[in-house]
Amino acid sequence: MTTRPVPELFSRIVDTALDRTVVPGFTAVGLGLRRRLPGWPADPAPGALAGRHVAVTGATSGLGRRTALDLAALGATVHLVVRDTTKGERVAAEVDAAAGRPGAARVWWCDAADLDSVRTFAGRFLAADLPLRAVVHNAGALPARRTESPQGHELTQALHVLGPVLMTDLLLPGLAADAGRVVLVTSGGMYTQALPADDPEYRHEPYSGSVAYARSKRGQVELLPVLTERWAPQGVTVHATHPGWARTPGLDASLPAFSRALRPVLRTDAAGVDTTTWVVASEPAPEGGHLWHDRRRRPTSVLPGTTPALADRVRYWAWVAGATGLAP
């Protein structure tokens, strides 16, 4: 019988306590404490991404902008996949200046909720013949009212699930060329919701933007096993990362009361993207198919009634495959 060394066991106990009590674990307090615990994974080496290409959606502000800056600081050429190219060019100039390299960032137009736009973008990107180390699906929205994508899908599902799945599937040739990593940036809100297998489009009950957002994020993590099986034959791994509670323009706009109440302990944007950067740049790659928060694997369900039956996951994936036109 083997036993864990006391420092490692102590670290696990403290880390789990932070995670389960939510408020300290999701705020700046949690990351600050965890960094000081034994066993904290090493930072990616300087220049870890030199010569590599990474695509980041929703890169004009908040966590997407910070992800682009931090990946470029490690040597990556960052492809900013954005709806507003004017803002994208401003961020690209900022990334170039911070990295000290002209061309450290390039701007691509794409509406990640519009499946036709996703197909057009993927075709243009593949035509550039660039190997992809990673795609970071960061684009997000929390609409106050039920809104539909150009294809008629509920917006949070289209933006957080359908668009990312289709985009990744189309970009597999580029990802396979560099043992690529796919990161779905999720949210702790998903812990409060079950998988909406019966009503993914949110048609049959009064709409709540925050609930729809959390359900779509639940969908991301529940698809991890399915997407791992689908993309692993190409040498591509898929991960979900939970940034904790970070102060961003999106949080201030969509949940202003929450943002004001927790402002003293909210994470910075750099702290919010720490685990995403680590997943993309660390060697060897973290194990695929899992949810990560503060550089550790996390359970995908902690509340009763939020763990889906296999049949629910199968039905949800069948809906995703049908909506995106992919073979299930």
Residue 166 CA to residue 113 CA, distance in Å, equals: 10
At 251, give phi and psi (nearest 5°): -65, -45
Per-residue pLDDT of 180-226, as tens digits, reads 999 999 999 999 999 999 999 999 999 999 999 999 999 999 999 99
Residue 40 domain flag: no
Residue 5 domain flag: no
Residue 108 domain flag: yes
Residue 237 domain flag: yes
Per-residue pLDDT of 15-57, as tens digits, reads 888 888 888 899 999 999 999 999 999 999 999 999 999 999 9
Residue 22 domain flag: no
- Spatial neighbors of 128 by CB under 8 A, at least 6 apart, are none
What distances in angstroms separate CA 27 from CA 34, 160, 247, 305, one per listed residue? 11, 23, 10, 25
Residue 96 domain flag: yes
Question: What is the reported pLDDT for 28?
Answer: 93
- CATH (domain of 310): 3.40.50.720
Instruction: Write out the residue range of the structural domain in which residue 49 sits.
Output: 45-324
- Of 224-238, 260-274, 297-311, the range with the lowest mean pLDDT is 260-274
Residue 8 domain flag: no
Let me know if 207 is a catalytic residue. Answer: no
Beta-strand ranges (E) seen in the chain are: 53-57, 77-82, 105-109, 134-137, 181-185, 237-241, 291-293, 296-298
Kindly give the pairing relationship between strand 296-298 and strand 291-293: antiparallel
In this structure, which amino acid lies at residue 17? A
Is residue 82 within 8 Å of residue 117, measured between CB atoms? no
Cis peptide before 284 (omega within 30 of 0): yes
- Of 95-99, 247-251, 264-268, the range with the lowest mean pLDDT is 247-251
- Spatial neighbors of 314 by CB under 8 A, at least 6 apart, are none
The domain total for the chain is 1
Q: What is the pTM of this model?
A: 0.94
Q: Is the pLDDT of residue 133 over 60?
A: yes
Residue 94 CA to residue 65 CA, distance in Å, equals: 9
Residue 37 domain flag: no
Residue 164 CA to residue 159 CA, distance in Å, equals: 7
Average of pLDDT values for 232-255? 90
Selecting among 191, 202, 207, 213, the annotated active-site residue is 213
CA angle 26, 303, 312 (to 5 degrees): 115
Q: Is the pLDDT of residue 1 over 50?
A: no
